[in-house]
Chains A and B, each alone.
Chain A
Amino acid sequence: MTDICVLRDITARYGDVTVIDRLNLAIPEGAFVTLLGPSGCGKSTTLRMIGGFETPAAGQVLLAGKDVTHVAPNHRDTNLVFQDYALFPHMTVAENIAFGLKRKGAPRDVIRQRVDELMQLVRLPDMAQRLPAMLSGGQRQRVALARALARDPALLLLDEPLGALDAKLREEMQHELKSLQRATGKAFVFVTHDQEEALTMSDVVVVMNKGRIEQQGAPVELYRDPQSRFVASFIGKSNFFEGRLQEASAGIGRVEVAGGTLSARLGSAPLKAGDAVVVAVRPEKVALATERPQGNAIEARLQSLSYKGAKSTALFADAFGRRIEMDFNPEERRIEAGDSSVWLGWQDADGIVLAA
């Protein structure tokens, strides 16, 4: 698979503030790539540099092998679905979708045919003559998609396009976007701060933080093998136990923490004995016992219970002030509120040792 878009050592500054610091990224052809990160991490800026709305202070943007770093958006073969959709309020749905084709100087009948085709694709029948103000949020979203796809761009960029929709519609659109991406075979670059959204749709998730890429990979990889404390906490939830690495052997590290030692898989970052580390454990991997279990064990007291349907969460605190979350299925087991101390444990392979 070749890369449709490559960012090389991109740096972006606003005034004196560096928002992107020598970032390198490759977007494979036909892939659904998500830039994920908290607000202010530089994900939108990165997207806008691919689209041509910002010029990097240093570095190169390559599109289909050509350097487009200084090419204006109207001469770039990318199209953007804006966060607020940016539909033109004085134009009908059909005029909005046709806008980009008219700029290309396409003949009238070609435009009409293409507009019809796109309206079919995004499932908006009979809406051609409506003004954007007359559409629902979900419909506007689809018009924005159709409009951006109309010019048949090499790369479609989406800037948090689902943010304005309510939860149910959002989930629907996630599936629709994914199937649209498969149907068109285009590479999509999608920006979001919602990790669930990222995991649902993407082939590749790029986790960004403070203007740098923390980790990139398939959703499963990121969830199972986070390589930093940031990723472990940003994608899914994790319990963290801070300590010092005693020894590392055969992919398993022994970590001295307050109140004992824990064993866990070593992350991919090189660590040596004596390093300050954290052990990250997913809440759903934590098991509850009344007796001290073999291996990893933390003695704690129940703080609170919250019922969330299929998955509920119990929050514990131990003698060292650490808070430990445990997810469980309330249909399968019952946890009684009480003041007596209990034991929490997990398999060695379910924890991961990361640099602190």
Chain B
Amino acid sequence: MNTQPARIALLAFPAFWILLLHLGPMLAMLRISFLESFPPLPGSAEVATLANYTAFFANDVYIVPMLRTLVFSFSATLLLLVLTYPLAFFLAKGVRAERKLTYLMILFAPFWVGEIIRIFSITVTFGNRGAVNWVLLNLGILERPLRMLYGYFSLSTGIIHLSALYMLMPIYAAIEKIPDNLLEAGRDLGAGPVSRFFDIILPLSREGVATGCALVFLANVGTYSVPALLGGPGTSMFSETIGTFFHTAGSQWPVGSAFSVLLLTASLTIAALMMLVIQRRKGRAR
């Protein structure tokens, strides 16, 4: 039995921690996004303003990367869903139980390597004088090197390499949870493999798909290294825009914060909508 003081002692520290360090930074960001200058000029009080927000809507230089970020992140999310779903399905229901761990380990191992190193390895592989071009040239498939870096192709490759796991895992977990006897019952009731997939597996893995899509979308929106290292002048993303405000000390922070708040709001809204749409049929009482 937990006595009241013991319970309070148990809860107080984590409550304090998450309020301060999880919520605190977000609130700090929100706060300075409304400030005219940060830190306030010596001798003057903080002045609240909406100018940092209106700055965004005043200039194409900001609006275009924002839209590009959202559209690209969304498309990349769908691409990842299509690419990884068959994998998740195969791992959950197509591999014998005793081999499952090996299959998973082999697939996961590349994800232990950090993002910068993986991005670097992509530049080495897909560069004009990189391995892929060299092979294609020598096979006579290409006459001149194909420019694969610093455009949407390399961006997507980077995203796939970095985010596939976040899509795969929730879907795998959801399909794994579907009891085999449901599939057997489906078979017993005359459902073929196609029907078993579309009528049983797909609807029952909805939750995993929703989680995966939201996670991957948020990760895509937030990546700074991928556009910075794999993107080109024509593909600059909003995370880079935000980054530029923070390379210098304080003075530009309010604008950068306001832009971050806008990006966070937009991406959370889209992530939430994605989850709603994917889960729409989930047992709501009429």
In this complex, what residue of B is CB-closest to A73? B1
A46 to chain B: which residues have CB within 8 Å? none
A135 at interface by CB-CB < 8 Å = no
Among residues 7 to 60 in chain A, which have CB atoms less than 8 Å away from a CB atom of chain B?
A: 52-55
Cβ of A72: which chain B residues have Cβ within 8 Å of it? 1, 3
Closest residue of A by beta carbon distance from B1? A72
- CB contacts (< 8 Å) of B3 on chain A: these are 72
Interface code A69-96, partner B: CB below 8 Å = 1, 0 otherwise?
0001100000000000000000000000
In the bound complex, CA of A72 to CA of B1 (Å) = 6
Interchain CA distance A55-B1 in the complex, whole Å = 8
Interface residues of B in 1-31 (CB under 8 A from A): 1, 3
Per-residue B-contact encoding for A334-356, CB less than 8 Å = 1, 0 else:
00000000000000000000000
Could you tell me the distance in whole angstroms from the C-beta of B207 to the nearest C-beta in chain A? 29
Q: How far does the alpha carbon of A53 sit from the alpha carbon of B1 in the complex, in Å?
A: 5
Closest partner residue, chain B, to A72 (CB atom): B1
Which residues in B have their C-beta under 8 angstroms from that of A55? 1
A15 nearest CB across to chain B (Å)? 17
CA distance A73 to B1 in the complex (A): 7
From B3, which residue of chain A is reached at the shortest CB distance? A72
| Neighbouring B residues of A73 by C-beta, 8 Å | 1
Contacts of B1 in A (CB 8 A): 52-55, 72-73
Total contacts A-B at CB 8 Å: 7
* Alpha-carbon distance between A73 and B3 when the two chains are bound, in angstroms: 11
Tally of B interface residues using CB under 8 Å: 2
List which B216-248 residues lie within 8 A (CB) of chain A: none
- Least distance between A49 CB and chain B CB atoms (Å): 10
**CA of A55 to CA of B3 in the docked complex: distance in angstroms?**
10
Least CB distance, A71 to chain B, in whole angstroms: 9
Q: Which residue of B lies closest to A74 (CB)?
A: B1
Give a binary string over A267-305; 1 marks a CB under 8 Å from any B CB, 0 the rest: 000000000000000000000000000000000000000
Residues in B whose Cβ lies below 8 Å from that of A52: 1
Smallest CB-CB separation from B2: which chain A residue? A72
A111-B1 Cα distance, complex, nearest whole Å: 27
Kindly state the separation between the CA atoms of A52 and B1 in the bound complex, as whole angstroms: 7
Chain B residues with Cβ below 8 Å from A53 are 1
Q: How long is the Cα–Cα vector from A55 to B7 in the complex, in angstroms?
A: 15
B3: min CB distance to chain A, Å: 7
Docked CA distance A72–B2 (Å): 8
CB distance from A12 to the nearest CB of B (A): 13
Minimum CB–CB distance from A51 to chain B (whole Å) comes to: 10
**Shortest distance from the beta carbon of B280 to any chain A beta carbon, whole Å:** 33
- By beta carbon, the residue of chain B nearest A71 is B1
* Whole-angstrom CA separation of A182 from B259 in the bound complex: 78
The residue in chain B whose Cβ has the minimal distance to the Cβ of A48 is B1
Q: Return the chain B residue nearest A55 by Cβ.
A: B1
Question: Chain A's nearest CB lies how many Å from the CB of B237?
Answer: 50
Chain A nearest Cβ from B178, distance in angstroms:
28
Minimum CB–CB distance from A157 to chain B (whole Å) comes to 15
In the assembled complex, the Cα of A289 lies from the Cα of B42 at a distance in Å of 111
| Alpha-carbon gap, A54 to B1, bound state (A) | 7
CA distance A284 to B1 in the complex (A): 48
* B2 CB, nearest partner CB in chain A, Å: 9
Complex CA distance for A126 and B245, rounded to whole angstroms: 72
Nearest CB in chain A: distance from B175 CB, A? 30
Using a CB-CB cutoff of 8 Å, which residues 35-62 of chain B contact chain A? Answer: none
Cα–Cα distance between A262 and B3 once the two chains are bound (Å): 58
Cα–Cα, bound, A113→B1 (Å) = 31
CA distance A259 to B1 in the complex (A): 58
Expressed in whole angstroms, the minimum distance between the Cβ of A69 and any Cβ of chain B is 11
Smallest CB separation, A63 vs chain B (Å): 15
From B6, which residue of chain A is reached at the shortest CB distance? A72
Of the listed residues A52, A72, A73, the one surrounded by the most CB atoms of chain B closer than 10 A to its CB is A72
Contacts of A54 in B (CB 8 A): 1
Q: A19 CB to closest chain B CB, in angstroms?
A: 16
**C-alpha gap A239/B3 in the complex (Å):** 50
Closest Cβ–Cβ distance, residue A118 to chain B (whole Å): 27
How distant is A123 from chain B, measured CB to nearest CB, in Å? 34
Question: Separation in Å of the B139 CB from the closest CB of chain A?
Answer: 58
A68 CB, min distance to chain B CBs, angstroms: 12
CA distance A306 to B3 in the complex (A): 55
Cα of A53 to Cα of B2 in the assembled complex, Å: 9
Inter-chain CA distance A52–B3, complex, in Å, is 12
| Least CB separation from A51: chain B residue | B1
Give the Cβ gap from A48 to chain B, nearest Cβ, in Å. Answer: 10
Nearest chain B CB to A35's CB is how many angstroms away?
A: 20
Pick the 7 closest A-B CB pairs, nearest first: A72-B1, A52-B1, A55-B1, A53-B1, A73-B1, A72-B3, A54-B1
Interchain Cβ contacts under 8 Å between A and B, 7 examples: A52-B1, A53-B1, A54-B1, A55-B1, A72-B1, A72-B3, A73-B1
Interface residues of A (CB under 8 A from B): 52-55, 72-73
